[in-house]
Amino acid sequence: MADPAITVEGAEKSYGGKKALDGLDLTVARGTVHGVLGPNGAGKTTLVRVLSTLLRPDAGRIEVAGHDVVREAYAVRLRIGLLGQHAALDEELGGRQNLELFGRLHHLGARGARARADELLERFGLADTGRKAVRQYSGGMRRRLDLAASLITEPEVLFLDEPTTGLDPRGRAEVWSSVRSLVGGGTTVLLTTQYLEEADQLADRISVVDAGRVVAEGTADELKAETGGDRIDVVLRNAGELGAAVALLPLTGVSVDADRRLLSAPVTDRMEALSGVVRALREAGIEAEDVALRRPTLDEVFLHLTGDDHRVKEAA
Amino acid sequence: MSAHALTDSWTMTRRELARWGRQPVQLAVNLVFPVMLLLMFGYLIGGGRGVTGAYRDYLVPGMLALTMAFGLEGTMLAVTQDLNKGVIDRFRSMPMANGAVLVGRSAADMLQSAMALVVLIGVGAALGWRPGGGPAALLAAVGLLLLFRFAMLWIGIHLALVAGKPEMVQAVQILVWPVGFLSNALAVPGSMPGWLGTVVGWNPMSHTATAVRDLFGVPGTESGHAWAAILWPLALLAVFFPLAVRRFGRLSR
Ligand SMILES: Nc1ncnc2c1ncn2[C@@H]1O[C@H](COP(=O)(O)OP(=O)(O)OP(=O)(O)O)[C@@H](O)[C@H]1O
Ligand SMILES: [Mg+2]
């Protein structure tokens, strides 16, 4: 790739003896949105902190906007914006005071900082928050202000660490639309999330991370195809018939949850699978409480990609 | 980078001032607390074992020094809060001068301590306390007190960076009291049991208090402590300033 916005080769970082990044590789092209998808403890925040110069990696070559994050940290800081997992704001000050403070620290000057603060408050629908301290903001307002603060200088590369975790659907939609409008302006975005849907909505490409390394990478469609796309869930009335149903249903890769009397399997042709299952159950006289098609959850994509779904099947 | 060191430090200082503007009550409480202690020890508890002259003349310089020592808590609390609030991450990810965060903290804390001294001296004067030695002595005394405060400041920053957790601040807050009172701020060491008197004599704060009393011409004050009152804080600074700066740089480890 010619002149990528982010290059990570063999990044390693340990806390005590525990490896948070374990040889992680990543390349992000300029002007694209890259999703980093992974469960709790996968190393997402550690990666973002290394990329944004907050944390020194133990090993690896890591460049952001063409500069090394360790040796040229200052040059990197000139070119990035950061929305951390937790709000990075002065809670005692008001929204405008926060943005002016960060503007001054970006050396926009007093007048420039004030103008920029006005602009951003307007753009993020925070213009009428008055003198309220950030402490008194709602979660959604705080997230928007935090995002505004990370955009003071229209960064070349923007890092968003779980930007919508803890927000209600409306807050989430607001953040999503803000991110979309940014990308139009040529900013490169690296976004971490635990939600497949979020990566799906926003990212051009996705890296699935587990235990500090990338276990799969591709577009959302590629990843979903790899996990078998949609799934079918069948809930039986009688748990005793689970074994018989597994043997007889026209499905492969079935996982069983006996407590919930549930069978689950990936499907390729949605309609054929649905009608096949319903017919087979009826013919065998097995009663089902529910039969439903659904998108795979992150767990399933994840279990599939890390090869753990075989273990699930054997256990069942 | 260093081209911005001054601007950034000033910006960070203004941030603290803006926080005062947001929480005037908090600021007022910080300034009034030492006055309360002064009134409590001067009028309610009424100590002064072994004091030669008026207890008030002995007590006011002691309270001034004690106020500087207690400043350590405030510094530690503020730094710990910053560290745990995440805002420090934003500062560290921005192209600002590295030290500005700490310089801003220092400037604001020193200013608040200077204000606390003015308030205490003002209240003392209102109650009829008259320091001897004239304006020059008063200025020199304030200088010694602020130097001591500056040393406490960097100890506070270092402890906050080492401990990092709000719970640890409480532990230090509890410890600051006995250390503060194991000095000659309130009572004459000669009136204490032998070993205690020795500890108290060693306490850097005792030297500052004694030097200030000497400047104010408090009767019965040993003279010649000015050097110790200068050298002790400088020695503490020589240890804790580099430690704190190094710790701050190591936030990225
Ligand atoms: N400061 C730290 N000290 C010790 N261990 C840490 C520290 N920060 C992270 N870890 C460990 O490193 C691993 C990766 O953590 P990280 O925060 O990067 O994960 P994450 O993918 O962001 O998780 P989450 O989705 O919960 O935010 C975890 O096992 C975590 O316990
Ligand atoms: Mg995280």
- Where chain B has pLDDT below 70, the residues are 1-2, 44-53
Q: What pLDDT is attached to residue B51?
A: 67
| Diameter over CA atoms, chain A | 78
Predicted local distance difference test score (pLDDT) of residue B220: 80
CB of A17 sitting under 6 A from ligand 1: no
Question: What is the ipTM, given to two decimal places?
Answer: 0.86
Q: Please give the pLDDT value at position A316.
A: 37
- pLDDT score at A27: 97
- How many CA atoms are closer than 13 Å to the CA of A191, on its beta-carbon side? 32
B11 touches chain A (CB under 8 A): yes
Atom of ligand 1 lying closest to residue A21 CA? 14
What local confidence, expressed as pLDDT, does residue A6 receive?
97
A289 and A238 in contact (C-beta within 8 Å)? no
At residue A12 the predicted structure's pLDDT band, cuts being 50, 70 and 90, is very high
Higher-confidence residue of B179 and A239: namely A239
Contacts 24+ apart (CB under 8 A), A94-97: A94/A129, A94/A130, A94/A131, A94/A132, A94/A133, A94/A134, A94/B22, A95/A121, A95/A126, A95/A129, A95/A132, A95/A134, A95/A137, A95/A141, A95/A145, A96/A121, A97/B18
Q: Which residues, including other chains, have CB under 8 Å from residue A178's CB and lie 6 or more apart?
A: A124, A144, A147
Residue (of B41, B203, B65) closest to B144 by Cα position: B65
Identify whether the C-beta of residue A108 lies closer than 8 Å to the C-beta of residue A94. no
The packing angle between helices B24-39 and B55-85, to 10°, is 150
Q: Name the least confident of A186-195, A300-309, B227-236.
A: A300-309
Q: What are the tokens at A307?
A: 């090869």
Cβ–Cβ gap B89/A56 under 8 Å: no
Asked if B94 lies within 8 A of A105 by C-beta distance, the reply is: yes
In whole angstroms, how far apart are CA A241 and each of A198, A260, A311, B132? 37, 13, 22, 98
d(CA B212, CA B206): 10
Q: What is the pLDDT of residue A298?
A: 58
Ligand 2 centroid, distance to B34 Cα (angstroms): 43
CB-based contact B1 A97, cutoff 8 Å: no
Would you call A15 an interface residue with chain B, using a CB distance cutoff of 8 Å? no
Residue of chain A minimizing CA distance to B88: A88
Q: Give the model confidence (pLDDT) of A112-152 as tens digits.
A: 999 999 999 998 889 888 789 999 998 888 988 999 999 99
pLDDT in tens, A198-237: 888 899 999 999 899 999 999 887 877 666 678 899 999 9
pLDDT at B11: 96
User: CB B15 to CB A101 under 8 A?
Assistant: yes
Give the pLDDT confidence of A242-296 residue by residue, as tens digits: 989 888 888 888 889 889 999 988 888 888 889 999 999 999 899 999 999 887 7
Q: What does DSSP assign to residue A297?
A: P
Per-residue model confidence (pLDDT) at position B224:
82
Establish if A56 touches chain B: CB-CB under 8 angstroms. Answer: yes
**Rg of the Cα atoms in chain A:** 23
In chain A, the residue whose alpha carbon lies closest to the alpha carbon of B24 is A92
Residue whose structure tokens are 């002007």: A31
pLDDT band of residue A315 (cuts 50, 70, 90) is very low
Residue A2: CB atoms within 10 Å: 5
| pLDDT value at residue A228 | 61
DSSP A135: G
Mean pLDDT of A24-42: 93
Q: Atom 2 (ligand 1): residue with closest C-alpha?
A: A15
Please write down the HEC assignment for all residues of B131-152: CCCHHHHHHHHHHHHHHHHHHH
SS3 for B18-45 is HHHHHCHHHHHHHHHHHHHHHHHHHHHH
pLDDT of residue B83: 85
For chain B, what is the domain count?
1
Average pLDDT score over residue span A153-169: 90
Summarize pLDDT for A43-82 with one digit per residue, the tens: 999 999 999 999 999 999 999 999 999 999 999 999 999 9
pLDDT at A314 over 50: no
- Predicted model pTM: 0.83
Ligand 1 pocket check: which of A21, A24, A44 to mutate, most ligand atoms within 8 Å of Cβ?
Answer: A44
Residue A94: the pLDDT is 95
**Helix/strand/coil (H/E/C) assignment for every residue in chain B:** CHHHHHHHHHHHHHHHHHHHHHCHHHHHHHHHHHHHHHHHHHHHHCCCCCCCCCHHHHHHHHHHHHHHHHHHHHHHHHHHHHHHHCHHHHHHCCCCCCCHHHHHHHHHHHHHHHHHHHHHHHHHHHCCCCCCCHHHHHHHHHHHHHHHHHHHHHHHHHHHHHHCCHHHHHHHHHHHHHHHHCCCCCCCHHHCCHHHHHHHHHCHHHHHHHHHHHHCCCCCCCCCCHHHHHHHHHHHHHHHHHHHHHHHHHHHC
Q: How confident is the model at residue A302, as a pLDDT?
A: 66
Ion ligand 2 nearby residues (CB, 5 A): A 44-45, 85
In the structure encoding, which two tokens stand for residue A194, read together?
């635990």
pLDDT, residue A310, reads 40
Q: Do B95 and A77 touch (CB under 8 A)?
A: yes
Q: How far is CA B65 from CA A35, B36, B150, in A?
A: 56, 15, 12
Q: Is A140 left (phi over 0), alpha (psi -120 to 50) or beta?
A: alpha
Residue A47: which of A75, A3, A8 has the closest Cα? Answer: A8
Residues A40-44 have a mean pLDDT of 92
Listed in sequence order, the residues at least 6 apart from B142 whose beta carbon sits closer than 8 Å to its beta carbon are B114, B117
A53: contact with B, CB 8 A cutoff:
yes
Residue having the nearest C-alpha atom to atom 25 of ligand 1:
A40
- DSSP assignment letter at A295: P
Q: Which domain holds residue B137?
A: 3-249
Chain B touched by A78 (CB under 8 Å):
yes
